Structure 1
């Protein structure tokens, strides 16, 4: 196994272990919702005037998929749409009270999981942290360039 394969294998293994440890509690607390629905709720809450285009860009999904997703969330009465006085054409989304409850539950679970894992990060020194962040940013920039080269846009 070369270093790229080994590193990618270990990233996937790490991500899968985190997902496994979080899965049961997340599923219990957020019954009836998919991970994608919860992340859409999170994106709506954390962004100013989210619309289909913004959500597609943030969640790396097509606009068609976001339209279906937001319709499903509206049917579950977790989000509602609105329009601005100065722009009657564009449709935006906001959370309902039930959507806010889901958002806060999700945030509380993340805080709990972060607390569970904080020991690892407390033991990390500044040099280790900086090396990891440098690598992550270098890889992220590379992927952004590849996406731009392919002229891929999320529609």
Structure 2
């Protein structure tokens, strides 16, 4: 396999590793679900709108995710007295465990990445950063292009 294909394959592997096995949890959770659980812990009176803004996802996606997390026992929902319209979310003990593991994973991952990056000189770091920005741009542009195509075809 040539170096170009190896790089593309490695990027694909990184992208596909989007589920985490959490000990004592019955189902795998996506990164989005884990980040939603973490956000519920630190956002006061977390609701669909606040979670949508924090996570950069649509309210529909957040609603669907929260329903699944509720059904699987990670979150619970509540309403404030006198406001029967707005629904808020809080974590169960299971959700708190996931949030704690999430914090540890981020800390450990950050430190490992920092150690790897320290092995490169400033010029190499600049090249890596440019490469990652370019790859991120390709991904964003591709999703936008596809989304616009499907939105136009639905009109």
CA distance in 2, matches of 1:146, 1:102: 35
CA distance in 2, matches of 1:50, 1:121: 37
Structure 2 unpaired stretches of 5+: none
1:1-155 to 2 correspondences below 5 Å: 7-15=7-15, 19=17, 26-28=21-23, 30-36=24-30, 37-45=33-41, 49-51=46-48, 54=52, 58=57, 62=61, 65-66=64-65, 68-73=67-72, 76=73, 78-84=74-80, 88-124=84-120, 125=122, 126-149=125-148, 150-151=150-151
| 3-state SS of paired residue (1:31) | coil
Query: Contact conserved, 2:66 with 2:75, CA < 8 A, in 1?
Result: no
Residues 114, 60 of structure 1: CA spacing in aligned structure 2 closer, same or farther, 3 A cutoff? farther
Shift of 1:131: 0.7
Query: Contact conserved, 2:48 with 2:88, CA < 8 A, in 1?
Result: yes
Shift of 1:94: 2.0
Shift of 1:11: 0.8
CA distance in 2, matches of 1:5, 1:151: 32
Give the TM-score normalised by structure 2. 0.60
Structure 1 unpaired stretches of 5+: none
Give the TM-score normalised by structure 1. 0.60
Structure of greater relative contact order (alpha carbons < 8 Å, 6+ residues apart): 1
Query: Contact conserved, 2:77 with 2:89, CA < 8 A, in 1?
Result: yes
CA distance in 2, matches of 1:121, 1:50: 37
